[in-house]
């Protein structure tokens, strides 16, 4: 069974991008329509769904999650489901950046004592988050389009993204 990390705030990313555009510039370059987009995503937007869950291997890892944006990353806090089935309050910190035209996400910390996240486990979670993020551009790639993330900046309550969407004319 293919392992997936389902993160509601990442799954809703496309809708947030549309609603959070702070600047758009459209041009034609080399037979492509190029849309340069600046997006500001706030904590309030990420927490709109209320009670989001992070799932790993088709099992909830954090339930009733809320997201706090900081300059060093996202802190997702909620009810952690422990390997033995018990629960406790805790969080996971996700560092984010734009690198090589892609979004890069790395889990850097977990606070629940029952959640023994060794470096290998953190790498697994990071790889699964990236797999989930790769779905953002999957439909675009199928049509010959390309999404390039140029810059990602995080403040105390906002993620600011600068990206280009390039689509061949006629698709």
Banded pLDDT at 69 (limits 50, 70, 90): very high
Greater pLDDT, 117 or 55:
55
In 30-145, DSSP assigns E strands to: 32-42, 52-56, 59-70, 73-81, 87-99, 102-110
Supply 157's token pair: 């309550």
Give the mean model confidence (pLDDT) for residues 64-88.
86
Supply 159's token pair: 């993620």
Cβ neighbours, 10 Å, residue 106: 17
Give the mean model confidence (pLDDT) for residues 90-107.
86
Q: Model-level pTM? A: 0.69
DSSP tag of 156: S
Boundaries of every domain in the chain: 5-168
Cα–Cα distances (Å) from 164 to 26, 28, 40, 126, in that order, read: 10, 12, 15, 24
Give the mean model confidence (pLDDT) for residues 19-27.
69
From 130, 132, 105, 106, select the one nearest 117 (Cα to Cα): 106
């Amino acid at each position: 069974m293919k392992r997936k990390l389902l993160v509601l705030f990442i799954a809703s990313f496309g809708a947030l991008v549309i609603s959070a555009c702070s600047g758009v510039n459209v041009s034609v370059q080399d037979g492509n329509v190029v849309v340069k987009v600046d997006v500001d995503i706030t904590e309030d937007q990420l927490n709109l769904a209320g009670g989001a869950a992070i799932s790993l291997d088709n099992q909830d890892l954090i339930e009733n999650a809320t997201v706090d944006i900081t300059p060093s990353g996202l802190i997702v806090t909620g009810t952690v489901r422990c390997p033995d089935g018990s629960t406790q309050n805790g969080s996971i910190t996700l560092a984010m950046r734009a690198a090589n035209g892609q979004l890069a996400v790395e889990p850097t910390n977990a606070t629940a004592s029952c959640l023994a996240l060794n470096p290998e486990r953190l790498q697994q979670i990071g790889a699964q988050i990236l797999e989930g993020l790769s779905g953002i551009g999957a439909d675009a790639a199928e049509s010959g389009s390309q999404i390039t993330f140029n810059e990602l900046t995080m403040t105390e309550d906002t993620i600011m993204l600068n990206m280009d969407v390039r689509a061949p004319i006629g698709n």
